[in-house]
Amino acid sequence: MTILNLSTDPERARAALSYLDPSSRDVWVQAAFAIKSEFGDAGFDMWGAYGSQAENHSAIAAKSTWKSSKLNGKTTIATLFYDAKQAGWLDNTKHHKPTAEELAERKLKAEQRAAQAATEEAQIHASAAATALQIGEAAEPAEDHPYLRRKGVKAYGLRVGKFTRVDQDTGKVITVSDQSLLVPMCDRTRRLHSLQCIHPSSDRQKLYLQGGAKSGHFHAIGECPIMVDECPVFVLVEGYATAASVHETTGHLVLCCFDASNLLPVAQDVREHQPEAIILFAADNDLETQGNPGVTTARKAAEAVQGLVAIPLLPADVNKACDFNDLHLAPSVTIDVRSFFVNI
pLDDT digits (tens, 9 = 90+) for 72-103: 678 888 899 999 999 999 887 666 677 888 77
- Which range of 98-102, 279-283, 336-340 scores highest in mean pLDDT? It is 279-283
Answer yes or no: is pLDDT of 139 > 80. yes
CB 195 within 8 A of CB 183: yes
Predicted confidence band at 327 (pLDDT cuts at 50, 70, 90)? Answer: confident
CB atoms within 10 A of CB 169: 6
pLDDT at 40 over 70: yes
Confidence check: pLDDT of 4 > 50: no
Q: Mention every residue, 6+ apart, whose C-beta is less than 8 A from residue 48.
A: 59, 62, 66, 110, 113
- pLDDT at 5 (0 to 100): 41
Average pLDDT over residues 258-274: 96
261-286 average pLDDT score: 96
Quote the pLDDT of residue 198. 96
| pLDDT digits 0-9 by tens, 192-221 | 999 999 999 988 999 999 889 999 999 999
CB atoms within 10 A of CB 175: 10
Q: How far apart are CA 73 and CA 75, in angstroms?
A: 6
Which residues are CB-contacts of 278 (< 8 A; sequence separation ≥ 6)? 228, 231, 232, 233, 234, 307, 308, 344
Average pLDDT of the segment spanning 3-15: 69
User: What does the mean pLDDT of the chain come to?
Assistant: 87
Checking if the pLDDT of 334 tops 80, the result is no
Per the CB < 8 A criterion, the answer to whether 187 and 193 are in contact is yes
